[in-house]
Amino acid sequence: MTGPNPATTTTARICPNCDGFATAAISSGGRDARGHLHTLTVDCSACHGTGTLPLRPRLAVTAWEVAAR
Protein backbone atom coordinates (compact mmCIF):
# COMPACT_ATOMS: atom_id res chain seq x y z
CA MET A 1 0.00 0.00 0.00
CA THR A 2 1.50 3.30 -1.05
CA GLY A 3 -1.13 5.89 -0.12
CA PRO A 4 -3.14 7.05 2.84
CA ASN A 5 -6.26 5.27 1.61
CA PRO A 6 -6.86 1.76 2.90
CA ALA A 7 -7.37 -1.12 0.54
CA THR A 8 -10.93 -1.48 -0.65
CA THR A 9 -13.06 -4.54 -0.23
CA THR A 10 -14.83 -4.36 -3.57
CA THR A 11 -16.66 -7.32 -4.98
CA ALA A 12 -15.54 -6.71 -8.57
CA ARG A 13 -12.18 -6.87 -10.30
CA ILE A 14 -10.81 -4.89 -13.21
CA CYS A 15 -11.60 -6.52 -16.53
CA PRO A 16 -8.51 -8.41 -17.77
CA ASN A 17 -9.44 -7.83 -21.43
CA CYS A 18 -9.54 -4.02 -21.39
CA ASP A 19 -7.69 -3.33 -18.10
CA GLY A 20 -10.52 -1.04 -16.97
CA PHE A 21 -10.63 1.11 -20.13
CA ALA A 22 -13.92 -0.36 -21.24
CA THR A 23 -14.96 2.07 -23.95
CA ALA A 24 -12.93 3.29 -26.92
CA ALA A 25 -13.67 5.91 -29.58
CA ILE A 26 -12.52 4.63 -32.96
CA SER A 27 -12.20 6.89 -35.96
CA SER A 28 -14.08 5.75 -39.04
CA GLY A 29 -11.80 7.80 -41.28
CA GLY A 30 -14.05 10.62 -42.42
CA ARG A 31 -14.55 14.20 -41.28
CA ASP A 32 -17.65 16.32 -41.27
CA ALA A 33 -17.98 19.86 -42.70
CA ARG A 34 -16.53 21.34 -39.49
CA GLY A 35 -13.49 19.09 -39.60
CA HIS A 36 -14.52 16.81 -36.75
CA LEU A 37 -13.61 13.15 -36.99
CA HIS A 38 -16.40 10.61 -37.34
CA THR A 39 -15.97 8.23 -34.43
CA LEU A 40 -17.62 5.06 -33.25
CA THR A 41 -17.89 4.28 -29.55
CA VAL A 42 -17.14 0.63 -28.90
CA ASP A 43 -17.50 -1.20 -25.58
CA CYS A 44 -15.31 -4.06 -24.43
CA SER A 45 -16.99 -7.33 -25.37
CA ALA A 46 -15.96 -9.06 -22.15
CA CYS A 47 -17.30 -6.54 -19.62
CA HIS A 48 -19.81 -4.74 -21.88
CA GLY A 49 -18.40 -1.30 -21.09
CA THR A 50 -18.33 -1.53 -17.31
CA GLY A 51 -14.57 -2.06 -16.91
CA THR A 52 -15.08 -4.62 -14.17
CA LEU A 53 -16.03 -8.25 -13.92
CA PRO A 54 -17.62 -9.90 -10.90
CA LEU A 55 -15.37 -12.04 -8.78
CA ARG A 56 -15.67 -15.71 -9.36
CA PRO A 57 -17.30 -17.50 -6.45
CA ARG A 58 -14.87 -19.42 -4.31
CA LEU A 59 -14.96 -23.16 -4.46
CA ALA A 60 -17.11 -24.77 -1.85
CA VAL A 61 -15.43 -27.41 0.26
CA THR A 62 -17.78 -30.02 -1.18
CA ALA A 63 -16.36 -29.33 -4.66
CA TRP A 64 -12.81 -30.26 -3.71
CA GLU A 65 -11.51 -33.62 -4.74
CA VAL A 66 -8.75 -35.26 -2.75
CA ALA A 67 -6.74 -38.07 -4.25
CA ALA A 68 -5.30 -40.34 -1.61
CA ARG A 69 -3.49 -43.61 -2.00
Least distance from C-beta 31 to Zn ion, angstroms? 29
Piece in contact with Zn ion (CB under 5 A), picked from 2-10, 12-20, 33-41, 61-69? 12-20
Using rule CB under 5 A, residue 17 touches Zn ion: yes
Minimum Å gap between C-beta 13 and Zn ion is: 11
* Cα–Cα dist 19/43, whole Å: 13
Residue ranges in 36-55 that form contacts with Zn ion under rule CB under 5 A: 44, 46-47
* Main-chain dihedrals φ then ψ at residue 63, nearest 5 degrees: -90, -10
Q: Could you give the angle at the alpha carbon of 3 between the alpha carbons of 52 and 16, nearest 5°?
A: 20
